[in-house]
Structure formats: structure tokens, C-alpha cells
Structure 1
Amino acid sequence: VLSGRKVFISGVDIADATLIVGRTEDARTGSLKPCLFIVPRDTEGFGRRRIDMELQGAEKQFELTLDEVRLPADALVGHEDAGLLQLFAGLNPERVMTAAFAIGMGRHALGRAVEYARERTVWKAPIGAHQAIAHPLAQAHIELELARLMMQKAAFLYDEGDDVGAGEAAN
């Protein structure tokens, strides 16, 4: 039975099911163990509500609620003792993807800033000709390049099967 917590997520409006982190209780000790479950979107007690966002994008954001959701045994992904390992196995590629997304946004923002610094003139010269503008833009470019290289290293290590090294690089 899954209950309670609200989760904010995108894509549930088009997905047939959602991967949820839940917990199972160890019958011997009573301790709770994290596990992964596949929850079909039409499961009783599994609700979603679209969240209005100030910025509109292709993906919509949703608030999920789980109210006494009952799942069959085959909803468990893998073995219940491997839930934590499965969860962490998915984090490193997600970190790499998030880094790539952030770097892309940073490169776009920096490109817009450089364009503005070239076009905006003060005292008959573009503002980018002044060190107070040029140096921070150059520093941002350097930091974006360093981030891109670390993201590529993390992706390479993950592709090569070095999940530990990928995690360290992604961090």
C-alpha cells in the first residue's frame, strides 16, 4: 500500500505508468526498505493535478498523490532487497542529463549576453569592449567549458560501465 506524500513530476499526462519509490516492510524486523514500483496511471488512489507554471514549456508539471494505492506483487521492480541499488543506478545518468540541460541553458544565456555586449554601445563603443563586462563574460565561458568537459567525462565513464567514476564526475 502506497500512501501520502505529494510528488511533483512531469510527463505523467502521457505516460502509461509511473515509476515510484516506495517502501516495503521486512516481515522479520519490521524495518522499511526502499523499493521501486510501477504504478499504472489508472490505479485507484493514484491521482494527479496539473500545476500552473509561470513559464510555459513543452512538459507540464503535476502534483501526484498516493492515497492507499494497492499494488500487485508484480508491480515491484526487481527484487525488494535491490531497491536502493536500482534507485542509485538511475541517478548517475540522470545527473549527466541534467548537467547537459543546464550547460545548454548556460550557453544560450551566455550567447545572448555576448550578443547584447556587442550591440549595446556607450560612449561610441560596445559595452563588451570594457573590462568590467568582458572579463565576467570570459569567466562564464571558461566555467561553462569546464562544466561541459566534466559532463562529457561523466557520460563517457557511465558508458564504459564505471558507475562510481561517473557519479563522482557528475557531482
Structure 2
Amino acid sequence: MDFALSQEQQMMQRLVEDICSDYDLEYWREKDDAGEFPHEIWDDLTEAGFAGLTVSEEYGGEGLGMEEVVAVALALGRNGGGVSGPNMLTLGPVFGGISITEHGTEDQKERWLPAIADGAIASLGLTEPDAGLDTAGIKTTAQRDGDGYSIDGTKIWTTGAHVSDYIITLARTSPIDEGSRHDGISLFVVPADADGITTNKIDKLSMRSLGSCEVVFDDVHVPDENLLGTEDDGFYHVLGTLNTERIIWAAIPLAAGELALDLAVDYANEREAFERPIGENQGVQFPLAESKMELETAKLMIYKAASLYDEGADCSMEANAAKFMAARAGFKACDRAIQTHGGMGFADEYHVERLYRDVRLARVAPVSDELVKSFVSTNVLDLPRSY
């Protein structure tokens, strides 16, 4: 086994570091305070080719895989972006690039992938107020309407919808029958500015620079050519995208944890109490050392999941396990960074409070700790289904 990054991956991380040098922690704090999308760094990342990471070269992209997405996400998060920075990659390479590449027709790829590679933002309209993580329980419908479909319903926690060009949307096209609840759902590419769409930002605890939204669809017409994949098979189509979402949402809290750890180590070396640096105390050292080991261990599972995905192998268990372990490791690292800073950890100027707020999300979304454990129990250990 080769655990080293390739020369290309290392070069990509260095390029990300160079871009991030123009966007320091103060930039991210200001974006968080204002609730503003970080368009400036997104434009620079797009110019460098990162918006098209997963888009094949024939459509203007880089033609790379999830290993490269992870490498870029980790560099983007650790070099100031925390949680919000790397999460921008879901709004292009993952939701847009992967969904359309895997399930789009040749015409659809030619229509949308060059735009994705050129920085178009694609959000995922999946979660609903009543369904939550029960995707088969969605109530949004897409009914046949002339040469297309009419979509009605409400999505919630749709990250980036207010700045999106497209919303990759799941809607029920056939009623639930006696077979599977997962049948009868279809996947659509919906222009975010389509008539009948209303988008409302949600006031929230974390990740404020990447707004999360309620999106209301009121008789939104989309033509037949906007159906992605096969009608009624959308739930199964989106599973591959969800695995890649879990992989990047493992990299996101891990990167934030690494950034928090860096800040804690710097503070421990600089802050003096009782006439010596607090970093000389094992009570400060040991928790930070534990976080370093936990983060590195979780990183191995992230790259394993990404490698399996890139090979075309089933990575469901590894993707879920990576997300679970990295979310916990990242949260503990941010919590320990707060503890290391003491009272100053609660001050905006030291940034760890923002990382702490943001990284907590990873234990709830895009899949909760509890549902990951249920998935592994049922699908890996063959225990009775509990949900």
C-alpha cells in the first residue's frame, strides 16, 4: 500500500495554499458575520480549475476523482477555510459534476458540465421538513405536464440554494405502491431561477457564509430533458452522489479539526501562565496529542473510501465510517482547541469558536451519527433493521 499523495495531488494542495494565502481567517470571520457567500475565493478556485475537478476533460474539467477532491478539501479547510471553505466543493464537483456525469445523457453532459467546470453552482434539493433523513418519505411531487413535469413541494436545509445556478432535485413521480418506498422517485436538474421557486435563507448556528435555505416549488415546470437518469429510479441514482457527499463531509470536519489543532498549538506555545508557556503542561499537551492521532486515523479511512469510489468499488461502509470518525475527531479537536484557549476561546478574534460552531454540524448532517451506526449495524453486521 502507498499512503503518500501523488505528485499531482501534492501540487494541487500547494496551489490551494497559494490561493488561501489571500483569504486569511479574518476573511472567513467577516463572511461568517455578514452571512455572505465567499464568491471571491470561489472565483479564484474556479479559475485554477477546482470547480471542474470531477468533470471530464472533454467538457472542460480536470477529469479527476474523489481522492483529489479530498486532497483539495483538506488543504482548503486547514488553510483558513475551516468548514465553509471545503464545503464549497459540494456545490460543483460533487452535486453537479458527479450527479450529471454518472446519470446524464450525452446531451445533458454537453449542456451542463462545461458550466459546472466554469464555476456554476449546483445545490442538492433533498431534505424536506417532514422527511428529514428519510429520503423515501419525501412529499415533493413532479407530475406529468405536457412536454415535461410540474414540481410542487418544499425542500429545507438546501445549502447554497440562494446563490445556485441549478438545484439537483428529488421529487416523487409515482405514488408509493406495495413494493418499495424507494421506487417512484426521480431526479431533476432545475434551474434555480425557474418561475415558481422561492428561496428563503435560514438563520442558523453554523456555516453562516454558506447559507442554507428553504426552497419552495410552486408549479415549477421543467422539460423532459431535465430528467436526470431514469424516471422513478432517482433514489437509486442519488445513492452514488450521497456516498461522495459523505466522503467530502468526512474531509470537511477533519480539515476544520486540523486548523483548530494548529491554532491551539500556536496558542499553547505563546500563552504564558505561571511564568511559562501553557504548552509545557501535559494537561494541555495530551488532549492535543490525542486529537492529532485521531485526525490522522480518520484521514486513512477517508482516503480508503475515496480510493474505493474512484476504482468503481462499493464504498458505502467506508464512506459512512469515514464521515462518522472524522466528524467525531474534528469536533473533539475543536472542543480541545477551545479548552486550550480557555476564556479566549470564546472570543471571535481567536476563530476557534467559529470552528467549534461549524464543525458540530458534521455530527448531524448530511447524515447523523445515529443513522450511520444503524446503517453499519444492518448492512454490514447483518443485524435486524431498526429504522
- Once residues 65 and 101 of structure 1 are traced to their aligned partners in structure 2, the CA distance between those partners, rounded to angstroms, is 28
- Once residues 84 and 27 of structure 1 are traced to their aligned partners in structure 2, the CA distance between those partners, rounded to angstroms, is 13
List gaps (5 residues or longer) in structure 2. 1-149, 321-387
- Once residues 178 and 255 of structure 2 are traced to their aligned partners in structure 1, the CA distance between those partners, rounded to angstroms, is 47
Deviation at residue 51 of structure 1 after TM alignment: 3.7
**Residue 37 to residue 137, structure 1, CA distance change in 2 (3 Å):** same
1:125 matched to 2:276: yes
1:167 matched to 2:350: no
- Once residues 101 and 160 of structure 1 are traced to their aligned partners in structure 2, the CA distance between those partners, rounded to angstroms, is 22
| Alignment deviations for residues 41-93 of structure 1 (CA, whole Å, 9 cap, x no partner) | 23332211234567652x33332111233433333211124212211010111
- Once residues 49 and 28 of structure 1 are traced to their aligned partners in structure 2, the CA distance between those partners, rounded to angstroms, is 33
**Residue 115 to residue 5, structure 1, CA distance change in 2 (3 Å):** same
Query: Which residue type is aligned with residue 50 of structure 1?
Result: K
- Once residues 216 and 296 of structure 2 are traced to their aligned partners in structure 1, the CA distance between those partners, rounded to angstroms, is 40
- Once residues 176 and 155 of structure 2 are traced to their aligned partners in structure 1, the CA distance between those partners, rounded to angstroms, is 27
| SS at structure 1 position matched to 2:259 | helix
**Residue 46 to residue 101, structure 1, CA distance change in 2 (3 Å):** same
| SS at structure 1 position matched to 2:164 | coil
Counterparts of 1:20-31 in structure 2, within 5 Å, are: 20-25=169-174
| SS at structure 2 position matched to 1:104 | helix
Deviation at residue 23 of structure 1 after TM alignment: 0.7
For CA contacts below 8 A with separation 6 or more, give which structure has more relative contact order.
1
**Residue 42 to residue 81, structure 1, CA distance change in 2 (3 Å):** same
| SS at structure 2 position matched to 1:150 | helix
Question: Which TM-score applies when normalising by structure 2?
Answer: 0.40
The equivalent position to 2:233 in structure 1, one of 57, 82, 89, is 82
**Residue 56 to residue 78, structure 1, CA distance change in 2 (3 Å):** closer
Deviation at residue 101 of structure 1 after TM alignment: 1.5
The equivalent position to 2:263 in structure 1, one of 112, 128, 141, is 112
- Once residues 28 and 140 of structure 1 are traced to their aligned partners in structure 2, the CA distance between those partners, rounded to angstroms, is 48
Query: Which residue type is aligned with residue 117 of structure 1?
Result: A
Query: Which residue type is aligned with residue 133 of structure 1?
Result: V
| Alignment deviations for residues 6-48 of structure 1 (CA, whole Å, 9 cap, x no partner) | 3222333443321101111159879762211121223332211
Counterparts of 1:144-159 in structure 2, within 5 Å, are: 144-159=295-310
Counterparts of 1:62-77 in structure 2, within 5 Å, are: 62-77=213-228
Partner of 1:61: 212
Runs of 4+ in 1 over 4 A off after TM superposition: 26-32, 52-56
- Once residues 36 and 108 of structure 1 are traced to their aligned partners in structure 2, the CA distance between those partners, rounded to angstroms, is 36
- Once residues 2 and 158 of structure 1 are traced to their aligned partners in structure 2, the CA distance between those partners, rounded to angstroms, is 32
Deviation at residue 120 of structure 1 after TM alignment: 1.4
- Once residues 18 and 124 of structure 1 are traced to their aligned partners in structure 2, the CA distance between those partners, rounded to angstroms, is 57
| SS at structure 2 position matched to 1:114 | helix
Q: Is the 8 A contact 2:166 2:191 kept in 1?
A: yes
Query: Which residue type is aligned with residue 33 of structure 1?
Result: G
1:48 matched to 2:199: yes
Question: Which TM-score applies when normalising by structure 1?
Answer: 0.84
State which drifts further: 64-73 or 33-42.
Answer: 64-73
**Residue 29 to residue 70, structure 1, CA distance change in 2 (3 Å):** farther
The equivalent position to 1:38 in structure 2, one of 163, 184, 189, is 189
**Residue 111 to residue 28, structure 1, CA distance change in 2 (3 Å):** closer
| SS at structure 2 position matched to 1:138 | helix
Deviation at residue 122 of structure 1 after TM alignment: 1.9
1:101 matched to 2:248: no
State which drifts further: 119-128 or 146-155.
Answer: 119-128
1:10 matched to 2:159: yes
Query: Which residue type is aligned with residue 146 of structure 1?
Result: T
Deviation at residue 154 of structure 1 after TM alignment: 0.8
State which drifts further: 101-110 or 63-72.
Answer: 63-72
Q: Percent identity?
A: 37
